[in-house]
Amino acid sequence: MNSARDPRIRFLIDLGKALHSYGIPAHRLEDALGNASRRLGIRAEFFSGPTSLISSFGEPGDQHTALSRVEPGLLQLDKLVELDEVVQALYRGDIGVEDADQRLSEIDQTPERYGPWLTTLAFSLASGTAARFFGAGLVEMVLATGLGLVTGTVAWAAGRFVSVGRIFEFLVAGLVTFLALGSTIWWRPLEPGAAILASLIILLPGLTLTLALNELATGHLVSGTARLSGAMMTFLKIGLGVGIGTKLAGFLPGGPVLVPAVDLPEWTLWAALSITPFCLCVLFRARPQESLWILLGSMAAFWGARLGVSVLGVGLGAVIGALLAGIVSNFFARWKRKPSVTLIVPSIILLVPGSIGYQGLTMLMENDVTSGMDSVFTALLVGVSLVAGLLLANVILPARNAL
């Protein structure tokens, strides 16, 4: 076999690079490539690192190894679905390997499904609804919606300008904190804490932390450790920005004026929970036809987690939400023959421990070491609970494939 010219090898390498750039964690990526190589009749081994993919083809002692330099990518659920459709068509024999490889290139060059205006609006609405989850009142929800618009605008600028992207988390955290505290002077007294947290909720690396723990739990130590380190660094950058924004707001004439938030009726929680999944569809670039399923998965995860918290406590309650979300996602994958990750990510994003980790970091910066370490430990425990729930869901109802 002339491996240098074998189209199957080129396809597998391109498939791995595409999966990596679309945000698939290491254990799912390696499983997907392993399954693809077996289906194509090639002996191969794969190792996915944070910024590289090593692919080795052939029998031991006579292997052809390729090293691909890859950049960590954000989750793009629509392209993952399209990629899965190409792979399944190849397995069925509907298309050849070279056609499948060409199709991968076409998918990669497809422009983003949702433009900057809709994405920025999704940032805004997601922040407003997230504030309700954190116990904010109506005024704080309005403020969070406005601050989310700021976050979305800065995110757009970070995607276009490298210099802005390098300081993105620090910049946006400081800016929204200053504006939130300043609004208590320029607009009206309120409780800005929930609005600040809600406007940063999409940036908090709770999902990254959960994925890192998942990779560590499945034995992918290099990728898991690197992802965990990246999550910690993001927390630090956001915490530094919040700290500086708070200090700058202290210099405003009169200083911030804080009052407790006014409680809202229970129906507003249902309304927020109904809107948030559609915002997440835009932010994670899911296809519109999957939005109702994502709403179902989010409902199952959220109310399952609330049930779990009432029975098992804050740290362990997330396991019930993750279990239900995983079962719904795997059922969707089997019935609709789509990747289960399409539902899993938007569903558990409401449960990931980003907000708890952020609060712990804030306490540590305020020299409240005991409470801060307790919150950090709780964040890790919630992350482990999510991983346990998802792994258990795969035992009860196995996924259709590695994706």
Q: Which residue has the higher pLDDT, 206 or 24?
A: 24
* pLDDT number for residue 199: 87
In the structure encoding, which two tokens stand for residue 177, read together?
């904190």
Distance CA 83, CA 221 (A): 27
Threshold 0.85, pTM exceeds: no
8 Å CB contact between 172 and 244: no
Q: Give 257-267 pLDDT, tens digit per residue.
A: 788 888 888 88
* pLDDT number for residue 370: 66
What are the residues whose beta carbons fall under 8 Å from the beta carbon of 193, sequence distance 6 or more? Answer: none
| Same domain for 346 and 220 | no
Share of the chain above pLDDT 70, in %: 91
Q: Give 7-58 pLDDT, tens digit per residue.
A: 888 899 899 888 888 878 777 888 888 888 888 888 888 888 777 888 888 8
8 Å CB contact between 184 and 258: yes
Q: How many CB atoms lie within 10 A of CB 283?
A: 20
Domain count, the chain: 3
pLDDT confidence tier of residue 175, bands split at 50, 70 and 90: very high
| Residue 231 Cα to chain centre, angstroms | 11
Distance CA 342, CA 360 (A): 30
Q: Give 52-64 pLDDT, tens digit per residue.
A: 888 888 887 777 8
Residue closest to 146 by CA, chosen among 183, 186, 109: 183
pLDDT at residue 366 tops 70 = no
Q: What is the DSSP letter of 134?
A: T
To the nearest 10 degrees (0 to 180), the angle between helices 168-186 and 138-160 is 150
| Same domain for 199 and 104 | no
Distance CA 83, CA 73 (A): 15
* pLDDT number for residue 143: 92
Residue with tokens 């450790």: 225
| Same domain for 294 and 281 | no
Domain that includes residue 338, residue range:
289-403
* pLDDT number for residue 371: 64
The phi, psi pair for 259, rounded to 5°, reads -135, 155
pLDDT at residue 355 tops 70 = no
| Same domain for 301 and 278 | no
In the structure encoding, which two tokens stand for residue 281, read together?
């569809």
| Same domain for 259 and 118 | yes
Geometric angle at alpha carbon 40, from 403 and 88, rounded to 5°: 40
Q: Which of 285, 318, 340 is at the close of a domain? A: 285
The phi, psi pair for 253, rounded to 5°, reads -60, 125
In the structure encoding, which two tokens stand for residue 176, read together?
């929204």
Q: Give 97-127 pLDDT, tens digit per residue.
A: 889 889 988 888 888 888 889 999 999 999 9
Q: Which of 74, 92, 108 is at the close of a domain? A: 108
Q: Which residue has the higher pLDDT, 373 or 105?
A: 105
| Same domain for 269 and 129 | yes
pLDDT at residue 4 tops 60 = no
Distance CA 356, CA 364 (A): 12
Mean pLDDT, residues 218-228 taken together: 78
* pLDDT number for residue 121: 93
| Same domain for 324 and 230 | no
Query: What SS3 class is residue 117?
Result: helix
Going from the C-alpha of 354 to that of each of 83, 248, 358, the distances in angstroms are 29, 25, 6
In the structure encoding, which two tokens stand for residue 39, read together?
């289906």
Q: Which residue has the higher pLDDT, 102 or 164?
A: 102
| Same domain for 257 and 172 | yes
Mean pLDDT, residues 331-339 taken together: 85
* pLDDT number for residue 1: 46
Mean pLDDT, residues 316-329 taken together: 85
Q: Which residue has the higher pLDDT, 221 or 335?
A: 335
Distance CA 122, CA 344 (A): 19
pLDDT at residue 146 tops 90 = yes
| Same domain for 84 and 18 | yes
| Same domain for 277 and 136 | yes
* pLDDT number for residue 2: 47
The phi, psi pair for 190, rounded to 5°, reads -165, 180
* pLDDT number for residue 124: 92
Give the helix, strand, coil percentages of the chain, each rounded to 5: 70, 5, 25
Mean pLDDT, residues 177-185 taken together: 90
In the structure encoding, which two tokens stand for residue 388, read together?
């346990």
pLDDT at residue 69 tops 50 = yes
Q: Please provide the DSSP assignment of 249-272 as one string.
A: HTTSTT---B-PPPP--THHHHHH
Q: Which residue has the higher pLDDT, 179 or 162?
A: 179
Query: What SS3 class is residue 69?
Result: strand
Q: Which residue has the higher pLDDT, 252 or 218?
A: 252
* pLDDT number for residue 70: 81
| Same domain for 125 and 87 | no
Q: Which of 88, 108, 128 is at the close of a domain? A: 108
Residue with tokens 């399952």: 304
Longest Cα separation, the chain: 77
| Same domain for 273 and 133 | yes
pLDDT at residue 369 tops 60 = no
Q: Which of 139-153, 274-288, 366-380 has the lowest mean pLDDT?
A: 366-380
Average pLDDT over all residues of the chain: 83
pLDDT at residue 196 tops 90 = no
